[in-house]
Amino acid sequence: MLAARPTRQESYEAGRSRRKALARSAHAELTVPAADRDPLAILAHQDETRLSDLVPIRYGRMVPTPFTFLRGAAAVMAHDLAASPHTGLVVQLCGDAHLSNFGAYAGPDRRLVFDLNDFDETLPGPFEWDLKRLTASLVVAARDNGFPGDAGPAAAAEAVRSYREAITHFASIPMMDTWYQRMEAESIMDMAGESADVHQRVERAVKKASRRTSLQAFEKLTAVVDGRRRIVADPPLVVPLEEDELPGITRRVSAAFEEYRTSLAGDRRHLLDRFRYVDLARKIVGVGSVGTRCLILLLEDDSGAPLFLQAKEADRSVLEAHLPASRYRNHGRRVVEGQRLMQATSDIFLGWSHDAEGEVDFYFRQLRDMKYSGDIASLIPETFLRYAALCGAVMARAHARSGDAAAISGYVGKGGTFDSAISSWAVAYADQTERDHEMLVEAVADGRVDAVRGV
């Protein structure tokens, strides 16, 4: 027999009753367990499974500002979030929902979509954890941008307001409408109203994103060497992987690629089979991901048109130290399943695999498929505020796909109590992030942490 589900009104009341166990105003309090809290130790623990020659680059990318530190310190925030009571209203979490992990990419219909776009840490968990990471990043970024002191808290409150109103909207419409809804350039323009700055930025972003394709990567990353198309070395950012230097690498990648192929739907496998393998390289990406294994594979169809695939290492989510472990044994599959659940539409070549010899899980995706993230440092305060609202609405739609929107709506309510509490928490966590960042700066200065800057 099919299991019965509560009505939306029942879910709403159940969510509302959660306030008795955890008042919305209680979210304003930041609990940091000082006794065992060492952010540098938490980061160092992650280094144990990373490529040791790349770890200094990771710290070099984290050390410039508190915001760059926050981007690389998802494990630190997961530790801190776990120290406080939570609502128990579970959704599929992004797990690393800071401001720069929202952006544009091409849907299968080639229309540009704005959504969350990084899922390395995805795992089911309490909905407010994603909101807290987003709002903390807004406050930290506002300070880094030199905005007036009230800009960060205002942006944090605006993101939560937007989330709260959007989750209430999704609780009122049919589930299929929620599932199919996505944010495109036209939707962003509508949200922006008469803001000329937003309209100009969206138009520029669409143009830039439309150029970020496999063909652009092909022209930028490859050259013809001895009559053969090759990925050009740019160490340490791009390092071609050769069989004579790494015996067995071709066999290992071939086996992992075949397993990846089987993770795709039949029509995607058929399309992939129209391409032939050309070359392979290691590539450094991101901030928090530096040191994890990341490969790029160049393929071509029978006309010579390129397809770049990226194979990224997937380890345990940083949230798994504090929440139930993933239901998936392969962490590449954990990432892929979480991404498909949260995104309105996903890369057609998204899949997973495993390197048995290296005991490493991977997920695959296109290296460039009109992917584009906004330049946060260039935003003016008004646009920053509107961007915060956009991110909050997008997060609500992602959470509504996997969680109970009515229950969350019942908990957050219709007024600004929840908004104000999360905003206060975000300010407190921004202060904590600045202290943590200073610890890293000092550790680099006195030689306890090796950092390579500018790479």
DSSP string, 117-152: ---TT-EEEEHHHHHHHHHHHHHHHHHHTT--TTHH
The answer to whether the beta carbons of residues 312 and 118 sit under 8 Å apart is no
Phi–psi pair at 310, nearest 5 degrees: -115, 130
Whether 395 has a pLDDT exceeding 60, the answer reads yes
* Residue 337 burial by Cβ neighbours in a 10 Å radius (0-12, 13-18, 19+): buried
The answer to whether the beta carbons of residues 157 and 388 sit under 8 Å apart is no
Whether 425 has a pLDDT exceeding 80, the answer reads yes
Q: Which of 81, 60, 82, 56 is nearest to 71 (CA)?
A: 60
What pLDDT sits at residue 448? Answer: 97
pLDDT band at 227 (very low <50, low <70, confident <90, very high): confident
Helices 55-62 and 417-445 sit at what angle, rounded to 10 degrees?
Answer: 120
What pLDDT sits at residue 194? Answer: 66
Q: What share of the chain is helix, strand, coil (3-state, %, to 5)?
A: 50, 15, 35
237-271 residues labelled b (16+ CB within 10 A) or e (exposed): eeebbeeeeeeebeeebeebbebbeebbeeebeee
**Residue 131: HSE in the Cβ half-sphere, 13 Å Cα cutoff:** 36
Q: Give the highest mean pLDDT range of 151-165, 198-212, 375-389.
A: 151-165
Average pLDDT, the chain: 93
**Interior CA angle at 17 toward 12 and 23, to 5°?**
120
What whole-number distance in Å separates Cα of residue 322 and Cα of residue 329?
A: 17
The per-residue pLDDT for range 86-139, each reduced to its tens digit, is: 999 999 999 999 999 998 888 888 888 999 999 999 999 999 999 999 999 999
* Residue the block writes with tokens 């939306």: 8
The answer to whether the beta carbons of residues 322 and 79 sit under 8 Å apart is yes
Mean of pLDDT values over 206-214: 75
The answer to whether the beta carbons of residues 103 and 369 sit under 8 Å apart is no
Q: Which residues contact 245 (CB under 8 A, 6 or more apart)?
A: none
What pLDDT sits at residue 450? Answer: 97
**Could you tell me which residue, 197 or 315, shows the higher pLDDT?**
315
Mean of pLDDT values over 371-397: 91
Whether 209 has a pLDDT exceeding 80, the answer reads no
Mean of pLDDT values over 293-307: 94
Mean of pLDDT values over 284-299: 92
Mean of pLDDT values over 397-421: 97
DSSP state of 221: H
The answer to whether the beta carbons of residues 87 and 284 sit under 8 Å apart is no
pLDDT band at 201 (very low <50, low <70, confident <90, very high): confident
Cα 310 from chain centroid (whole Å): 16
pLDDT band at 337 (very low <50, low <70, confident <90, very high): very high
What whole-number distance in Å separates Cα of residue 368 and Cα of residue 110?
A: 13
Whether 441 has a pLDDT exceeding 80, the answer reads yes
Q: CA–CA distance from 211 to each of 14, 95, 119 (Å)?
A: 48, 29, 24
What pLDDT sits at residue 355? Answer: 94
CA-based torsion, 72, 69, 166, 406: positive or negative? positive
Helix (H) or strand (E) holding 313: strand 306-314
What pLDDT sits at residue 359? Answer: 93
The answer to whether the beta carbons of residues 2 and 394 sit under 8 Å apart is no
Phi–psi pair at 184, nearest 5 degrees: -115, 180
**Residue 428: HSE in the Cβ half-sphere, 13 Å Cα cutoff:** 15
The DSSP line for 391-453 is HHHHHHHHHHHHS-HHHHHHHH-SSSHHHHHHHHHHHHHHHHHHHHHHHHHHHHHTTSS----
Say what percent of the chain tops pLDDT 90.
Answer: 78
Mean of pLDDT values over 161-179: 97
pLDDT band at 269 (very low <50, low <70, confident <90, very high): very high
Prediction pTM value: 0.95
Q: CA–CA distance from 369 to each of 122, 332, 365 (Å)?
A: 21, 20, 9
Mean of pLDDT values over 283-295: 91
Q: Which of 393, 376, 345 is nearest to 192 (CA)?
A: 393
Mean of pLDDT values over 398-414: 97
Mean of pLDDT values over 256-266: 97
Whether 191 has a pLDDT exceeding 70, the answer reads no
**Residue 66: HSE in the Cβ half-sphere, 13 Å Cα cutoff:** 20
What whole-number distance in Å separates Cα of residue 91 and Cα of residue 110?
A: 28
pLDDT band at 193 (very low <50, low <70, confident <90, very high): low
Q: Which of 61-75, 153-167, 375-389, 417-431 has the lowest mean pLDDT?
A: 375-389
**Could you tell me which residue, 328 or 1, shows the higher pLDDT?**
328
Q: Which of 25-29, 160-164, 322-326, 376-380 has the lowest mean pLDDT?
A: 376-380
Whether 1 has a pLDDT exceeding 60, the answer reads no
Helices 381-402 and 405-412 sit at what angle, rounded to 10 degrees?
Answer: 130
**Could you tell me which residue, 442 or 225, shows the higher pLDDT?**
442
* Residue the block writes with tokens 């959504």: 115
Phi–psi pair at 372, nearest 5 degrees: -155, 135
What pLDDT sits at residue 188? Answer: 72
CB atoms within 10 A of CB 301: 12
